[in-house]
Amino acid sequence: MLTSDWWRSAAIYQVYVRSFADGDGDGTGDLAGVRSRLPYLAELGIDALWFNPWYPSPMADGGYDVADYRAVDPAFGTLAEAEKLIAEARVLGIRTIIDIVPNHVSDRHPWFRAALAAGPGSPERELFHFRPGRGAGGELPPNDWPSQFAGVTWTRVADGQWYLHLFTPEQPDLNWAHPAVRQEHEDVLRFWFERGAAGVRIDSAALLAKDPALPDVVEGGDAPHPYIDRDELHDIYRSWRGVADAYDGVLIGEIWLPDTERFARYLRPDELHTAFNFDFLACPWDAARLRASIDGTLAAHAPVGAPATWVLANHDVTRTVTRYGRADTGFDFATKAHGTPTDLALGARRARAAALLTLALPGSVYLYQGEELGLPEVEDIPADRLQDPMYFRSGGTDPGRDGCRVPLPWSGSEPPYGFGGAGTWLPQPAGWGGLTAQAQAADPDSMLGLYRTALRVRRTEAGLGDGPLRWLDAGDGVLAFAREGGFGCVLNISPHPVALPRHRRILLASGPLDEGLLPQDTAVWLRLDE
């Protein structure tokens, strides 16, 4: 693998800084905490870290409301500390991916403060989408765009104009038709590449460009959507690619698009390097559906020559162990099945098998902090402790995303489980003593043990990561494939134990075999006998 091609095969660990480790004991995770846990991350065997936004932010949306893209929030540390962290991780062979939020800024960002102060018609307002309202007195929002979180997408300011925010009112959308907006973000990219970032995760990457007329959404028909996946975006990302290439940097898009052909356009050789595979993330625990998602993913990526990514979880979705323990094992923002009956033992068993499947597929893989510990979704956070605007803006009908953002348990038998100071920003549940990193570290059969071994094997197997996949004959409910070098992966989701293909040895199994047969919800890595 060429050094500069690391991203084609990498195992990338997502750090939600606020909840990873707390170095100064105030109950909120920080960069000092991450630095203190770098040995843990190195031992886990990952190639890169992706940090959720660490910039100064009023935290109206967990840091996705950025007030200054060139600094670090004091709650997390300092810019100098971020630079140290990037350098220290690199010494351990771990690259750093930062999170850039180009669609919107915080309402505390100096540009937005200036726009509010400058008033209608000013050049400052042109950096955003300010419009008069509809209705006789301008008392209605300028259009009908639905919010990505519940509620309206427009807020009226004192002088009567409205501004657009696809997310919360604290996240005004930037006007990407304005050259200063493009210039600024390219400068921000350079700023972080200069400081050692190896890659950039692009938030809401398909939402930046807007139809300048801001028309209502017309469902169906062939007209381009007024704000999703507009063709103008490709020019923006081609320009970003030019910046990234100068630093050998990597661009990763957060792109939720059902149309895989449109999705793949972002991955043309002169645009983004990779994008998150949300089709796979949302896929139910069903062999035929998983196979279709894998085949569809590989087929969509092949024409543009980009490697696929495999993601089971992140800071926005229900934790894997919980999701796979429910009757509905898929993920959909609209129907989160929060609080429905959940068999966590079953979910954990499937999550283990899913880990081996995912780590054996062609391309790069993302692991969300706590997944390696098998943490479940926390579904009983008291309402007065919840923080997520998704919960508040939906009037509580959407449980929000706090349940997957609870601070990690490191050691001990009660909160704060070695996270740092007591009084963690989100409460940790009782009963996580057995899930701490310390409790699992000594046990090779724990979830942590499985991930450590799997990541080690993945590094040493030349056929894993980017490269071809060949499906093997297997019965209904079974996925079996070979990778180069005689590597095989078999996953049985059917209710019956199945025989393994001819093999020389078993490299790793997600659970015990049953007299040489592979039981339900179990996956195995093999050295095939071919």
State the catalytic residues. Answer: 203, 254
Residue from 316, 372, 398, 521 that binds ligand NOJ (CB under 6 A)? Answer: 316
Reference 373, options 400, 346, 355; nearest CA is 355
Burial class (CB in 10 A: 0-12, 13-18, 19+), 527: middle
Comparing CB distances to ligand NOJ, the nearer of 22 and 316 is 316
Q: How far is CA 57 from the centre of its chain?
A: 19
Assess contact for 464 and 9: CB atoms under 8 A.
yes
Please give the Cα distance from 149 to 506 (Å, whole number).
46
H-run or E-run covering 471: strand 469-471
Residue with Cβ nearer ligand NOJ (6 or 163): 163
For the segment 258-297, give every residue that binds ligand NOJ (CB under 6 A): none
Backbone angles phi, psi at 342, to 5 degrees: -135, 130
Q: Is 240 in the site for ligand NOJ (CB under 6 A)?
A: no
Contact between 203 and ligand NOJ by CB under 6 A: the answer reads yes
Alpha carbon distance 301, 259 (integer Å): 12
Question: Is 215 exposed, middle or buried, given 0-12, 13-18 or 19+ CB atoms closer than 10 A?
Answer: middle
Task: Give me the amino acid identity at 6.
Answer: W
Kindly state whether residue 369 participates in binding ligand NOJ, applying the rule CB under 6 A: no
Q: Which CB, 244 or 404, lies closer to ligand NOJ?
A: 404
Q: Considering only CA atoms, which of 307, 299, 290, 325 is closest in space to residue 480?
A: 290
Q: Output helix, strand, coil percentages for the chain, rounded to the nearest 5.
A: 30, 15, 55
Residue 294 C-beta: closest distance to ligand NOJ, Å: 24
Contact with ligand NOJ (CB under 6 A) among 204, 322, 446, 510: 204
Closest CB to ligand NOJ among residues 389, 488: 389
Burial 258-275 (b: 16+ CB within 10 A, else e): eeeeebbbbbbeebbbbb
Closest of 228, 296, 233 to residue 267, by C-alpha: 233
**Is 318 a binder of ligand NOJ (CB under 6 A)?**
no
d(CA 350, CA 324): 6
**In the complex, what is the shortest distance from the CB of residue 61 to ligand NOJ, in angstroms, rounded to a whole number?**
5
Question: Does 17 sit near ligand NOJ (CB under 6 A)?
Answer: no
Number of residues that bind ligand NOJ (CB under 6 A): 10
145 binds ligand NOJ (CB under 6 A): no
Q: How far is the CB of 93 from ligand NOJ (least distance, A)?
A: 27
Nearer to ligand NOJ, 81 or 398 (CB): 398
Give backbone dihedrals phi and psi of 528, rounded to 5 degrees, phi first. Answer: -70, 155
Q: Report helix, strand or coil for 187.
A: helix
Q: Cβ of residue 254: shortest distance to ligand NOJ, in angstroms? A: 6
Distance CA 97, CA 351 (A): 25
Segment contacting ligand NOJ by CB under 6 A, of 61-69, 180-188, 238-246, 444-452: 61-69
Q: Which stretch binds ligand NOJ (CB under 6 A): 8-16, 58-66, 182-190, 294-302?
A: 58-66
Count of helices and strands (H, E) across the chain = 14, 16
167 is an interface residue for ligand NOJ by CB under 6 A: yes
Distance CA 32, CA 29 (A): 8
- Shortest distance in whole angstroms from residue 50 CB to ligand NOJ: 11
Using the rule CB under 6 A, give the single segment among 60-68, 106-114, 455-463, 490-498 that binds ligand NOJ: 60-68
**Residue with Cβ nearer ligand NOJ (97 or 454):** 97
Does residue 227 touch ligand NOJ according to CB under 6 A? no
Instruction: Show the site string, 439-478: x = touches ligand NOJ by CB under 6 A, - = not.
Output: ----------------------------------------
398 binds ligand NOJ (CB under 6 A): no
Binding mask 89-128 for ligand NOJ (x = CB under 6 A): ------------x---------------------------
Intra-chain end-to-end CA distance of the chain, in Å: 25
Q: How far is the CB of 377 from ligand NOJ (least distance, A)?
A: 16
Which residues 296-315 are close enough to bind ligand NOJ by CB under 6 A?
315
Cis peptide before 110 (omega within 30 of 0): no
- Name beta bridge partners: 489: 481, 525
Q: Taking the complex as a whole, how short is the minimal distance between the CB of residue 22 and ligand NOJ, in angstroms?
A: 21
How would you list the strands of the sheet with 48-51, edge to edge? 274-275, 250-253, 199-202, 95-100, 48-51, 11-15, 364-368, 309-311
Q: Is residue 73 part of the contact set for ligand NOJ (CB under 6 A)?
A: no
State which residue, 170 or 271, has the beta carbon closest to ligand NOJ: 170
Span near ligand NOJ by CB under 6 A; candidates 59-67, 173-181, 293-301, 500-508: 59-67
Residue whose CB is nearest to ligand NOJ in the complex, by number: 64
**In this complex, which beta carbon is closest to ligand NOJ, that of residue 326 or of residue 393?**
393
The pair of structure tokens assigned to 186 is: 């390219």
Provide the minimum distance between the beta carbon of 147 and ligand NOJ in the complex, in angstroms, as a whole number.
11
Contact 294, 287 (CB under 8 A): no
When binding is defined by CB under 6 A, the residue of 22, 30, 47, 61 that contacts ligand NOJ is: 61
CB of 286 to ligand NOJ, least distance (A): 26
- For residue 445, the minimal CB distance to ligand NOJ (Å) is 33
Q: At what angle do helices 232-246 and 179-194 cross, to 10 degrees?
A: 30
List residues binding ligand NOJ (CB under 6 A): 61-62, 64, 101, 167, 203-204, 254, 315-316
